[in-house]
Amino acid sequence: EIPDDVLAYKYKPSNPKVLESGNWSITVNNSNSVDVAADISTLTMYPPDGTDDISKAVNNLESAGTIPVIAAGNAGLLGQQTVGSPAVAENAITVGASEPNSLDVAYFSSRGPVDFGSDVRPGVDLIAPGVDIVSAGSPEAYPGDEPYVRASGTSMATPHVSGTIALMMAADSSLD
C-alpha cells in the first residue's frame, strides 16, 4: 500500500498502440523522515479490441438468438481501457458495477473505451449494483453453514442485467 504522502504517477505513452522501448524510471517524492523502499515491477498490457477468438464467438451468438450479457471485469484501478475479453465483443452487453445507492461506477469496475481510432466503443454499456451483493455460495468455495455469500464485482452486477432482460422479453416477446 502506498502511504498517503507519497506521490505515484501512472505512465501514459504518447501513442497507446506502440510499446515504447528504452529505459523507464519512477520518481517517488517522500516527505517522511524515513527512507521509503519499493519493489516495482512493470507489466505491458495490450487491451483487447474484440478481435480475439472468444470475442468473435460472442459476436456470433446473436444469430443463435442468444443475448450475451458479460461482466466488464474488475481492473478499474488500472484506469481506462481495462475491459477484458470477451466483454469487449461488439455484440456483448457489457456490464460494469455501481457503488451502493449511487450512479457512480465502483472503483474496481473495468472501464472503456474499447479499441482505437474510428472504431472506439464505450466498452461498458451500463452499470448495475455490484458492491456487497448477497448471492448463493458454494460450500466448496465458501466453507461454512451459510448458503449465501456477500461479494463485490462486475460478475455480481451482471445477473441484475440478465434478469431484467429476461423479464422484459417475457413481458414483450417482440423485443430482440
> What is the end-to-end Cα distance of the chain in Å, rounded?
47
Going by the DSSP 8-state scheme, the letter that residue 114 receives in this structure is B
Give the three cell numbers for residue 79. 484506469
pLDDT (tens digit per residue) in 62-88: 888 888 999 999 998 888 888 989 999
pLDDT at residue number 44: 54
Give the angle 153-158-164 at the CA atoms, nearest 5°.
145
Q: CA 85, CA 159: separation in Å to the nearest integer?
A: 18
pLDDT value for 137: 79
Cα–Cα dist 63/4, whole Å: 51
For position 50, what pLDDT does the model report? 84
pLDDT at residue number 24 = 55
Q: Which residues of the chain have pLDDT under 70?
A: 1-29, 36-46, 116-118, 142, 144-145
- The pLDDT, as a whole number, for residue 25 is 58
pLDDT of residue 145: 61
**DSSP 8-state secondary structure symbol assigned to residue 94:** E
Give helix then strand counts, H and E, for the chain.
2, 7
Tell me, what amino acid is at 113?
P
Decide: 116 and 48 in contact? Cβ < 8 Å. Answer: no
Cβ-defined contacts of 117-124 (< 8 Å, 24+): 119/49, 121/50, 121/90, 123/72, 123/81, 123/83, 123/87, 123/88, 123/94, 124/72, 124/83, 124/94, 124/95, 124/96
